[in-house]
Amino acid sequence: MHAAPDQDPAAPFPETADIETSSDDYASRFAGPVGEWMLAVQERLALALIDPSPAKAVLDVGGGHGQLAGPLCRRGQTVTVLGSAEPCARRIRALSAGGRCTFRVGNVIALPFPDRSFDTVISFRLLTHCSQWPKLIEELCRVARHSVVADYPTEQGLNKIAPLLFQAKKRLEGNTRTWRLFRHADVRREFVRCGFSPGRRRAQFFLPMVLHRTMKCRTLSVALEALCRAAGLTRLWGSPVIIEMVRNPVGGGAA
C-alpha cells in the first residue's frame, strides 16, 4: 500500500483529491492514442455496471474529470456531479451550461444530499487518493438508493510492484500523485458495513497502465491486453477494478 497524499491545509474540505483529478493537467496523462484507448476501456466497463434507464438519477462524486458524466448524459440520465471546488466544473462546463447535468460544490466525505437521494452513486479516480476512504464509502452508500459503482487499484498481481515504480512513473508522467492500493476484502468489508453486498466486478487491465504509457503503441497494448483477458489473467489479477455494490433489501442503512 502506497502512502496516501498529504492534505493541503488551505484546501476547502478535508479530502480534495478531485481538484487535481478534474484538472487539465491530470487529463494530459490520457492524451494520445494509448490514453484514449485506456479511457475507452474504462468507460465501456463502467457503463456496463450502471443501470442505463433514463429514469435513473446518478450522482458522480469527484466526477469533474468528465469521463462518465458525458456518456451518462448522452444516455439521457439525470446526472449530478459533485466537486470539491468550483474549478472542478471546468471540464464539464459545456454539459452543465447546456442543462444536461448539474454541478454542485461539496465535501466528498460529508455529501450535501439527504439519504438515498440518487438511484446510483458513482465515484472514479477518487478512492485511491482519499486518506479517509472508509468515510468516503460510507457517504457514497448513504446517498445511494440502489447501488454504488466505483473503481480502485489493487495490490494483487503485477500491480504489487507499482509502489516500487513510483519514482520512475513520476519521471515519465510528470504529474503522478501518491495513491493507495487496496485488497478486495478491505473494500468489500466497508461496503458490507454500510448495508451493501457485492455485485459485479470488472478488472480493467492486466499490465500496469504505466507500462502501456511507456510503450506508446496502442496496437501492441490492445493485443497484449486481449491475450491476457483471453487467458483469464485480467479477471484474476487485473487492476484497476470497477465494482458494483448493491443495497441490501432489508437493513440497508449505513452504520
3-state helix/strand/coil string of 87-147: HHHHHHHHHHHCCCEEEEECECCECCCCCCCEEEEEECCCHHHCCCHHHHHHHHHHCEEEE
Instruction: Report the share of the chain in percent with pLDDT over 90.
Output: 76
Confidence at residue 255, expressed as pLDDT on a 0 to 100 scale: 44
Domains of the chain: 17-247 (3.40.50.150)
Instruction: Tell me the per-residue pLDDT of 16-44, one tens digit each, with 9 for 90 and over.
Output: 999 999 999 999 989 999 999 999 999 99
Query: Which amino acid belongs to residue 183?
Result: R
Instruction: Tell me the per-residue pLDDT of 61-80, one tens digit each, with 9 for 90 and over.
Output: 999 999 999 999 999 999 99
At residue 59, the 3 state secondary structure works out as: strand
**In degrees rounded to 5, what are phi and psi of residue 71?**
-60, -40
Instruction: Tell me the per-residue pLDDT of 81-95, one tens digit each, with 9 for 90 and over.
Output: 999 999 999 999 999
In this prediction, residue 252 has a pLDDT band, given cuts at 50, 70 and 90, of very low
250 vs 20 pLDDT, higher one: 20
Confidence at residue 60, expressed as pLDDT on a 0 to 100 scale: 98
Contact 158, 207 (CB under 8 A): yes
The DSSP output letter for 10 is T
The DSSP output letter for 174 is S
Confidence at residue 156, expressed as pLDDT on a 0 to 100 scale: 78
Confidence at residue 171, expressed as pLDDT on a 0 to 100 scale: 54
Determine if residue 162 is left, alpha or beta; phi over 0 gives left, psi from -120 to 50 gives alpha, anything else beta. Answer: alpha
Confidence at residue 164, expressed as pLDDT on a 0 to 100 scale: 58
Instruction: Tell me the per-residue pLDDT of 104-152, one tens digit each, with 9 for 90 and over.
Output: 999 999 999 999 999 999 999 999 999 999 999 999 999 999 999 999 9
Which are the contacts of 34, defined by CB distance < 8 A and separation ≥ 6? 212, 213, 215, 216, 217, 218, 221
* Beta strand pairing call for 78-83 and 57-61: parallel
* CA gap 157, 172 in Å, rounded: 22
In this prediction, residue 5 has a pLDDT band, given cuts at 50, 70 and 90, of very low
At residue 38, the 3 state secondary structure works out as: helix
Q: Where would I find the beta strands (DSSP E) of 124-235?
A: 144-152, 196-203
Q: In the structure grid, which three cell numbers stand for residue 1, read together?
A: 500500500
pTM > 0.85: yes
* CA gap 169, 154 in Å, rounded: 17
Confidence at residue 3, expressed as pLDDT on a 0 to 100 scale: 42
